[in-house]
A and B are shown apart, each in its own frame.
Chain A
Amino acid sequence: MKGYRYLSGVTTLELRPEDCVGCGRCLEVCPHRVFALDGTKARIIDLDACMECGACAKNCPAAAITVDSGVGCASGLINEWLQERKLRRVGSGCCS
C-alpha cells in the first residue's frame, strides 16, 4: 500500500502453484496486490504486503491458498489470550 509497509517476513500466506487453476480470483479480492497471474498460474509478487485477511484463500476454488487469518488488532488479541486462559468471558469487547 502506498506510503505504508508493515513488518516483513511474518505472513502465513502460502500458495501451492501445483493446485492453482489460474482463475485469477485471488488477484480480484486482494486489496494489496500480493498476487499476479503468469499465464495460467497465480504467483505471489509481494508477500510482505499481505495483511492476512483471508479473502484469497476463501475465494480460491481450488483451495490452493492457505493463510492464518483472523482478528489482527492488539486489543482483539489480548481478549483472545485472556479468553483462552479463561480470564475473560467470550463476547466482550469489539473484537470478540
Chain B
Amino acid sequence: MPRITTELSFADRLGTCKARWGIGRMEYMVPPGLYAVGTPTPDDPVVVTANYKMSYDMVRSSLAGHNTWLLVLETFGINVWCAAGKGTFGTDELEKRVDSVGLATVVNHRCLLLPILGAPGVAAHEVQKRTGFTVRYATIRAMDLPSYLDNDMVTTPEMQELTFTLRERLVLIPVELVLALKSIGLIGGTIFLAAFLMGGEAAGTKAIIAWLGAVFAGIVVGPLLLPWLPGRSFAIKGGIAGLGWSFVWYLLAGGAAWSVPVSLAAFLALPAVSAFYTLNFTGCSTYTSRSGVKKEMRLALPAMGAVLVVSLVLVLAGRFL
C-alpha cells in the first residue's frame, strides 16, 4: 500500500496553479485506491476523497500530523462536489472501492468519513446495507478535517456551512477566463471586422476594447463583487457591472463626442454582454439552484438578445439617418 506524504512539493503547487488556469485540468488525477497517511493502525479513521489531484492534495496536506487511511475514489479527475452531482463520487463506486482494496481486512472499525459535499452522490444507508460500513459526513472543507478529528469527530455548524469568500471566488476566475477564451476571440474578431468595415481601424479598435471590457466586467468584476452588487439575479449583478464599464468606457473613449444612438447602444449592449458572462458564473457558485438558474435564463437570454438587436439597429440607424 502506498504511504504518502502530507507535504506538498513545488510540483504539487505548480500543478494546482496550472489546473486553476485550465492547463491539463481534465487529466489532473491520481490512481484510485487506499493510501496510508502517516503510520495508520487498523483502528485509525478512513477518509474518503476524489481522485482529482487538487482534491487529493488538499486532503492529504490537511491531514499532516494525523495517522489516517485515505480512500481515493475513481471520479475521473473531477472534484468531489461536481463528481457527486454526476454520480461518479457515488454509492456504487464507494462500494466497489471498499471491496477492491479489501478495506474490511485493513481496518477493525466500520466507519467511513466522507466530505459533506459528496452527499449528493452517496446514499449513506445504501452504503451501510451493501458494505457494512457506516458513512459519517465529516466536513465541507478539507482544512477543517484536523479539528474534526481532534474534536472526537464532531461536526460543528461552521464545518457544515458553505461559504463563498472573496478568495474562494477569486481562484475560480482564471479557468472561467480560459474556458471563454475561444468564444471571446471569435466574437471579438467578428466585432472588430464589422466596426472596421463601417468606420475604419480606429472604430474597430474601439469596438474590440469595448467588447473586451464588457467581457472582463462579466467574468472578473461581477463574480468578485458578487455579494455587494445589488439584486439576487446573477444576470442583473452582471448587468450592473457592465453598466459600470459603460461609464468608464464613455469617459475613456471620449463619449461626449458620440452620437446619441451610439451612446445608447453602448450603454445597452455592453451591460448585456457582462450580464451573460456573470450569469454563467452560477456554475461556480455555491448557492444557486437549478430551478433558479433556469428561471433566470428564461427571462435573461431573450432580454439580452433583444437588447443586442436594438443596439445594432441603433448603430446602423445612427449611421444611415
Contacts and interface: CB of A to CB of B under 8 A. Distances in A.
Given A4-B227, A28-B155, A55 B283 contact: no
Given A28-B155, A73-B282, A7 B233 contact: yes
Interface string A83-95: 0000000000011
Nearest to B162: A31
A38 B143 CA distance: 31
B179 A94 contact: yes
B292 interface: yes
B140 A10 contact: no
Interface size class of A (residues with CB under 8 A): 35 or more
Interface string A33-71: 100000000000000011111110011010000001111
Interface string A1-31: 1111111101110000000000001001101
B232 A55 contact: no
Nearest to A7: B292
Interface string B251-279: 00000000000000000000000000001
Sorting the interface of chain B by its residue count into under 10, 10 to 19, 20 to 34 or 35 or more gives: 35 or more
B287 A1 contact: yes
B164 A51 contact: no
A77 interface: yes
A87 to B, nearest CB: 15
Contact of B293 (A12, A25, A68, A77): A77
Interface in B283-318: 283-284, 286-297
B123 interface: yes
A51 B286 contact: yes
5 contacts: A1-B161, A6-B289, A7-B295, A31-B117, A50-B289
Given A11-B292, A54-B85, A74-B280, 16 more contacts: A1-B161, A1-B286, A6-B232, A10-B295, A32-B287, A49-B287, A52-B289, A53-B85, A54-B120, A69-B120, A70-B290, A71-B85, A72-B292, A74-B296, A75-B280, A77-B290
